[in-house]
Amino acid sequence: MRIMVDESGRKIFFDPKKNKKDMHTYLGIIRRSDIIRAKNGRTIKSHTGKKLKVFDADFRDRLKHLKRGPQIITPKDAGVISAYTGIGPGSRVVEAGAGSGAFTSYLANLVRPSGKVYSYERDERFYKLAKDNLSTMDLSKYVALKKGDVYEKIAQKNADLVFLDLPEPWNAIKNAEKALKPGGYFVCYLPTMNQIIRLIKALEKTNFEVFKVANIHEEIWQARCDALRPVTHDFRHTAFLVFSRLF
């Protein structure tokens, strides 16, 4: 995927897997071959002579262009999950449900090149969506996407992390325990406090130790020197995070 930036800073995205023809834009026609051949940061011109700088898209650019299905996990939560579990290159992670494949992509990007993400999704539509999005992200080879229900079975063993973004994680505690290595992490992402209470009550009867319940807030400021202040927006609750560890 590539990004073209015009002289006013406006951006055009180009995915060679999906854009098979020259692009017809507000700047005129931009030749597909020019976009593909341009070196990172070089300038090309449309047929009307308008200049565009061409850049290689990075992980974040690709993520913004994924097809959306179920609600995705946002960077503010993704960053904290990886920081508190120490997931990195070589890690083995079990995740469910894959949904839109957004968090699967974060995980795959962290564990590659030698690690693996085993991602379960029980709904056929979202299984296909996640598969398609992982291909757009160029991350399919680091993910084993499984059509399955984690309340019934998790086939993996010796995982470093089991992460669940689904409504009733207490139904998967036994399977998570069997899938984890000793000392492994079990993290759940839940929108309501009612779910948190039910999960913690269930975890108290097991070998999992809950070490953190967190609600991560992000305050975004507008980057304008003449009016440096928080962006005006409604407060958006995403979900709470429950971190536990198998001891």
Ligand X SMILES: C[S@@+](CC[C@H](N)C(=O)[O-])C[C@H]1O[C@@H](n2cnc3c(N)ncnc32)[C@H](O)[C@@H]1O
Q: Is 7 exposed, middle or buried (0-12, 13-18, 19+ CB in 10 A)?
A: exposed
Q: How far is the CB of 97 from ligand X (least distance, A)?
A: 2
Site string for ligand X, 78-97 (x = CB under 6 A): ------------------xx
Would you count residue 120 as binding ligand X (CB under 6 A)? yes
- Determine the Cα–Cα distance for residues 111 and 243; give it in Å rounded to an integer: 19
Q: How far is the CB of 131 from ligand X (least distance, A)?
A: 12
Q: Which is nearer to ligand X, 54 or 145 (CB)?
A: 145
Q: Tell me how many degrees the CA angle 8-11-16 measures, rounded to the nearest 5.
A: 145
Would you count residue 73 as binding ligand X (CB under 6 A)? yes
Would you count residue 101 as binding ligand X (CB under 6 A)? yes
Q: Which is nearer to ligand X, 97 or 184 (CB)?
A: 97
The DSSP symbol for 221 reads: B
Q: Do 148 and 117 contact (CB within 8 A), yes or no?
A: no
The DSSP symbol for 113 reads: T
Nearest Cα neighbor of 118 from 88, 91, 136 is: 91
- Determine the Cα–Cα distance for residues 188 and 196; give it in Å rounded to an integer: 9
Indicate which single residue of 71, 135, 158, 222 sits in contact with ligand X (rule: CB under 6 A). Answer: 71
List, in sequence order, every residue forming a beta bridge with 44; answer none if it has no partner.
52
Residue 189 parent element (H or E): strand 180-190
Nearest Cα neighbor of 169 from 133, 210, 129 is: 210
Indicate which single residue of 103, 118, 208, 243 sits in contact with ligand X (rule: CB under 6 A). Answer: 103
Indicate which single residue of 70, 94, 117, 118 sits in contact with ligand X (rule: CB under 6 A). Answer: 70
- Which residue of this chain has its Cβ atom nearest to ligand X in the complex? 97
Would you count residue 63 as binding ligand X (CB under 6 A)? no
Site string for ligand X, 12-51 (x = CB under 6 A): ----------------------------------------
By the criterion CB under 6 A, which residues form the site for ligand X?
70-73, 96-97, 99-103, 120-123, 126, 149-151, 165-166
